[in-house]
Structure 1
Amino acid sequence: MDLPVLDHEGPWTEAAFLSLLPVSAPQGASRIELSDGSLVIGPGCGPARAVAVARARAAVAAALPDGLRVIGPVPLRLGPDCVLVPDLVVTRIRPDAADAEDAAEVIIDAGAALIVVEVVGREHGITDRAFKPQLYARSRIPYSVLIDHDHPFAAAHMIISGRYHEYARAAAGERLVLEEPFPLEIDLDALARQDGPVSAAG
C-alpha cells in the first residue's frame, strides 16, 4: 500500500499537506491537520458525530445575519505550514461568490473566520479540546465554540487581549445561548439525539 505520509521526509509544508486532501474523506476516516510543519491525525467523523455536526450547522445557518455563511469542514490557514480543519466556520460571503451555499474554497485564511465550531465526542482528547483552541486564539479568530455531543456540553469563547475567555456555556438539558457576534441558540440534547430529522430546530 502506497502511503505518502510514510514516504515524506522533513517538516510538512502547506502544499504537501494539501496534497493529502480532500477533506471530504469517507465517513469514519481520520482527519489530517497540519500544525507548524507536523501532521496531526485525529478521529474521523462517525455517524453520531456527523448528525451532531449537521444539526449544529443547521442551527447556525438559521441564525446567520445577512452577509455571513457557515461552511465546513474546510482547511483553515492559521499561519505558515499550519492548517486546521474545523467542523464549521462562520465567514463573510465573498462579493464574487455567485452562490454562497455552493461556494467552496480549497483553503481559507484565519482572518476571514468569525467563528470556528468544533464538535467532539468521547474519542477526542486534549488536542481537539485544548490545543486546537489555543491555535485559533493565536490566530486571533474572534470566537470559538466547542461542543461535546457524547456528554452534552458546550462552551463559547471570545478573544480578549490575544486569549480566549469563556462567555457562555451549557450542559445536558440546556441550550447554549449566545448574544454575540449574533443571537444564536443550540439545543445540546437535540444535537446528541440520533432520531428525528436534521433541522434548524434539531
Structure 2
Amino acid sequence: MQGRSMWPIRPGEFTTADLDAAPDEGARYELVDGVLLLTYMSSATHQRALSNLLMQMVAACPDHLEVLHGPLEFRPNSRLAVVPDLLVLPAEDTGTRWVEDLALAVEVVVSTTRTVDRVLKPVLYERAGVPAYWMLDVEVGTLTVLELEGGRYVERAVVGEGGVFEAEVPFPVRVGVSRSGGW
C-alpha cells in the first residue's frame, strides 16, 4: 500500500491505547469489547442532516452543557470507544480527543451504518449509562428517541418527516424532522 502508513495489527484484543497509536487516515476507528470497527467518511446527505440537527441543538443548549459533533470519541472504559455523530456532554474543556461522560449520543443512520447504529450502538450506550440516544434515519426520514429508565432504554418517540420532537433530555429543545430542511 504505497502512500499509506502501515499500522501493525497484533492478534488479540484491541484497547483504547491501540486506538491512540492508529494513523490518522480519515477513517473512523471504533472499539467494541476489544474488537475494532472501521468506517470511512460520511456522505453529503449525512453531513447535511448532522448540520441541521447541530444548529437546532446548539441554539437551545444551556451553559452547563455543550453540543459537539465528531470525531470525538466516547470512552467509558478501555475496551469501548465509539464516535457518535453528535454528542451532548458537560461543558468542560478536557483538551483530549475523547470523553468519558455523555448526556446524549446521536447517530445519523444511513444504509452503511444501519445495523451498527440501530442494533449495536443502543446496547453500548445503554450499558454505558448514557441518558439518551437518538437515531436520525436520513433514508427513512425518522428520528427515534431512546431514554434511560431504570437502567434500560425505552422508546420515547419516533418522529416522522415534518414532525417535531420536544425533548426534555438532555435539555428542553424542539427538533424538527425534515429532509426539505437540509437533508
Question: In 1, distance between residues paired with 2:23 and 2:142?
Answer: 30
Aligned length: 179
Amino acid in structure 2 at the alignment position of 1:47:
A
Decide whether the 8 Å contact of 1:171 with 1:188 is kept in 2: yes
Give the alignment partner of residue 4 of structure 1, picking from 3, 7, 25.
7
The answer to whether the aligner puts 1:189 opposite 2:178 as a matched pair is yes
Give the alignment partner of residue 19 of structure 1, picking from 15, 18, 21.
21
Partner of 2:99: 108
Question: In 1, distance between residues paired with 2:180 and 2:19?
Answer: 31
Change (3 A) 1:22 1:179: same
Decide whether the 8 Å contact of 1:72 with 1:88 is kept in 2: yes
Change (3 A) 1:190 1:104: farther
SS of structure 2 residue aligned to 1:165 = strand
Decide whether the 8 Å contact of 1:78 with 1:84 is kept in 2: no
Decide whether the 8 Å contact of 1:175 with 1:188 is kept in 2: yes
What is the root-mean-square deviation of aligned Cα atoms in Å?
A: 2.1
Question: In 1, distance between residues paired with 2:40 and 2:122?
Answer: 17
Question: In 1, distance between residues paired with 2:180 and 2:126?
Answer: 25
Decide whether the 8 Å contact of 1:52 with 1:191 is kept in 2: no
Q: CA deviation at 1:105?
A: 2.3
TM-score calculated relative to the size of structure 2: 0.87
Question: In 2, distance between residues paired with 1:122 and 1:180?
Answer: 27
Q: Which runs of 5+ in 2 are unaligned?
A: none
Partner of 2:91: 93
TM-score calculated relative to the size of structure 1: 0.80
Percent of residue pairs bearing the same amino acid type: 26
Amino acid in structure 2 at the alignment position of 1:88:
L
Change (3 A) 1:60 1:104: farther
Q: Give deviations 1:34-75, integer Å, cap 9, x for gaps.
A: 001110123531111011111111111111112111122111
Question: In 1, distance between residues paired with 2:74 and 2:126?
Answer: 13
Question: In 2, distance between residues paired with 1:84 and 1:165?
Answer: 21
The answer to whether the aligner puts 1:127 opposite 2:140 as a matched pair is no
Decide whether the 8 Å contact of 1:43 with 1:124 is kept in 2: no
